[in-house]
Amino acid sequence: MKNTKYGGRRMGNYYFSIEKSTRDSGNYIVYEWKNGVSKKIFENFGKPYGGLKEARQKIGEHLQKSGHTLNKVFEHQTIIHDRKNNPSKKGWTVEEYLIGVPEEANKKSRLIQ
């Protein structure tokens, strides 16, 4: 287990992946990964705008239904299969997943308003 930016701990063998076949498709599939075994928890087809945010929110809903607190941190990786380099896993709180954007972006949007 590793320390996170939130001061908590996270498990390396439990995370989520948000997968998309191409950059232009609006098809998102969310998998929950436990010890190398995946389970599909959400899929949305034909939503090129807002689909990624909705996929993140579904992760938050899934975690909340599983009894996790809002400040607990989990990891996800967004994978676009036609992209050469996909970013590494990111740690977000359950609350950030429910909002659909990381806390830093949420703070910036509040400052702009």
| Cross-strand bridge partners of residue 90 | 76
- DSSP labels for 4-44? -TTS-EE-TTEEEEEEESSSS---EEEEEEETTEEEEEEEE
Q: How many domains does the chain have?
A: 1
Distance CA 48, CA 65 (A): 27
Per-residue pLDDT of the chain (113 residues; tens, 9 = 90+): 343 333 333 456 899 999 998 888 889 999 999 999 999 999 988 877 888 899 999 999 999 999 999 999 999 999 988 888 888 888 999 999 999 887 765 554 444 44
